[in-house]
Structure 1
């Protein structure tokens, strides 16, 4: 029964693209689940469309439709989170790329509401696993940040079946009845190299690990500092996972018996995330693993939901922090670098949790020690990712500044103490000139 319906909906990628409305907003899956068959071929059919806006998040590859100037009047790539391809297009002055400010737990619903004000049709084109023959279900696999909300509200749904996509448990099931078209495209799922932490990152991680108590539920990101933190958590007990992004470092903690999820208030025994990105080894480990559930981003990243886990620890990184405690994590001046993502979501959830902690980590300097990342004031127009009134712990390789509930002068002194020694006198002078102390 389901196979017959599958065959009736099956199209070539070319035919499916040509079936799109002349004007449309096409939302694709996040990061490793972005529909590469669609994205790699869209530009070939520019003469068939009036205007196509493609919504992405954390682009994995450079695609001609947004990387080449000849397509500027036909296609646009709006993104919730910049990655190297979108940063490159923006730096080259291409107007095809634009950023969507957001809190991750509201990204899908906010954008659906916004698109309903436009006259274009809303299309979802996402990557899924092969269909289960006995039930007609596919799995969204590695991401459900906004995907399910879009599927439920789209005017058209195209599922790009990929044999390499792991089947992930949770709220990932999409039925054949929900699809208008099926295409098949077996590209390799993008993988990230494992980043080994530097000596400096290990120093930062040591301070962070000391803030994590046995029985805590953790949210941890990706990169050298988070990887270093994970390595230093091997002596902890009964940790739980409620995280936006499932990362490679968590597997080692599972296999060491550190992560049990037994002390969580929500979803005991299971790790909860809203997307996963890592190595091929991680994808194989996650495949059909009932201990890890991918849930909607609107649930996983809701600060109210996060706060229901006692002893919640949110660990995020930043580009710079000013002496008031304002955190910049996504931009350099007015130049968008990445995105807010779920940083403010998870940070706010953690500080509202019973005995929870929101941790912001960063190196004390940038550009090989030439500039301080602790600054007296951010440049005019800087995007603040975490407001000063939300900030809890700030950690560098020189220590921990606990800012929650502290006055402005107390914050200044605490942050200068964890800044690089080469910049402390200058920061103190500037703080006095600004009237902070």
Structure 2
């Protein structure tokens, strides 16, 4: 098992170097350093080498090293540090560095914002940084963000000294291969995963054992409502072919689409992330990965976020291939798979097809993530059979239309009108690609909530100076 794990890792990391082009990693963390071992330290001493002004990467999502972040916050206060910047994707758990007495010492640069930092971002306590997910590793490789240290969360070293980045390889591999200082929290609950996430224990500078047994952060997956179920059903029955390669963003609508795919055959997974929804499809043989061009037979992913059942399934499971997101999400890689079907959600879409997904008006909500990476990869699929899908309920819980005449003031366009092909609500499918603005408005009004159609038609005429029509 180990020999397969390590040899596969070396092969994949070469692939990542090619993806990075001339921007090479500064170190190869999968290779052992003879005669070196990490210094085993307490949580209290783990961050003692972090100094004022340092740029620190933080492992994210399920792998968020919450005890290390608490230790860093205490270290910053005790040593009067200033200007420490944390660079990360979506984090889970407590955010002690945003508290009074710490927030002027340690500040987040959030490359994708989760629920626990939205308040801080929108109140000016943390920063928000927009970037295509597949380009985030290049921030570290090209030196746009010069890292001084990385805080990571790893599986225990095996008999040969190999640990794993576990549930989140995404941007973590680029971070550790470009950090002069690596501080790792080792945890028996972190699954050992295959692919680009291997790190040899000799590459770690400080190793913390105190948090062994810490429960990984889990996703709270709520019940799907009728709107979401209907959208999922429409996508599954009309837009997902047998043998398709799937990407799904995070959210209730992509989850609903997965739930409706039980009767499909030979589906493949090449996606930035997945959650528990894939497990049922694997058990029913709906997912076989047999038609894929990139790593056939395996689910390719960059990070996962779900339940303990999912994390246990990942442990020592060579069926799951974790990759550097600079490779996984690269549209030039994505397009090589057959029938790439990208299913992503949105906050709102205007009558010309502009998609808002990272903000609600002036309020930042999340980030670009991999939506554009995969929408583009599906659109330019080598076989010409890709389906880029934006899915959203027609109306919000507060009764506001999500198909709007113009996007709300301050909101940001994530997916441009030129990227959009299919838009799905519970009322059907609008196909926008190749359509002019008058035709787009007609298509979108057709799938809007019936209570909004008259006002949307009037707004379209006011904006376009012509009635929306199909021809």
Name the TM-score, length of structure 2 as normaliser: 0.88
Range that drifts further, 380-389 or 8-17 = 8-17
Per-residue deviation, 1:222: 3.1
CA distance in 2, matches of 1:233, 1:297: 26
Contact persistence 2:251–2:345 (CA under 8 A): no
- Counterpart in the other structure of 2:303: 275
Contact persistence 1:40–1:64 (CA under 8 A): yes
**1:175-214 equivalent positions in 2, closer than 5 A:** 175-184=200-209, 185-186=211-212, 187-210=214-237, 211-214=239-242
Per-residue deviation, 1:115: 4.6
Question: Helix, strand or coil: the match of 1:39?
Answer: helix
Contact persistence 2:53–2:84 (CA under 8 A): yes
Contact persistence 1:221–1:247 (CA under 8 A): no
CA distance in 2, matches of 1:436, 1:372: 22
Question: Helix, strand or coil: the match of 1:365?
Answer: coil
Contact persistence 1:195–1:227 (CA under 8 A): no
- Counterpart in the other structure of 1:426: 455
Per-residue deviation, 1:112: 4.9
1:329 maps to 2:350: no
CA distance in 2, matches of 1:147, 1:346: 20
Which of 110, 115, 129 is matched with 1:84 structurally? 115
**1:111-122 equivalent positions in 2, closer than 5 A:** 111-115=140-144, 122=148
Contact persistence 2:249–2:370 (CA under 8 A): no
1:394 maps to 2:423: yes
- Counterpart in the other structure of 1:363: 393
Which of 116, 126, 131 is matched with 1:102 structurally? 131
Per-residue deviation, 1:98: 0.9
Contact persistence 1:412–1:436 (CA under 8 A): no
CA distance in 2, matches of 1:435, 1:226: 32
Residues 233/351 of structure 1: CA separation in 2 closer, same or farther (3 Å cut)? same
Q: Over residues 113-146 of structure 1, what are the superposed CA-to-partner deviations in whole Å (9 max), with x where a residue is unaligned?
A: 4555x7xx5211100000012x211100001111
Which of 33, 53, 58 is matched with 1:23 structurally? 53
Count of aligned positions:
428
Unaligned runs of 5+ residues in structure 2 are 1-31, 467-471
Question: Helix, strand or coil: the match of 2:457?
Answer: helix
Which of 405, 410, 414 is matched with 2:439 structurally? 410
- Counterpart in the other structure of 2:73: 43
Question: Helix, strand or coil: the match of 1:360?
Answer: strand
1:383 maps to 2:412: yes
- Counterpart in the other structure of 1:287: 315
CA distance in 1, matches of 2:177, 2:192: 20
Cα root mean square deviation, aligned: 1.8
Per-residue deviation, 1:313: 0.3
CA distance in 1, matches of 2:34, 2:95: 32
Unaligned runs of 5+ residues in structure 1 are none
1:163 maps to 2:188: yes
CA distance in 2, matches of 1:179, 1:111: 18
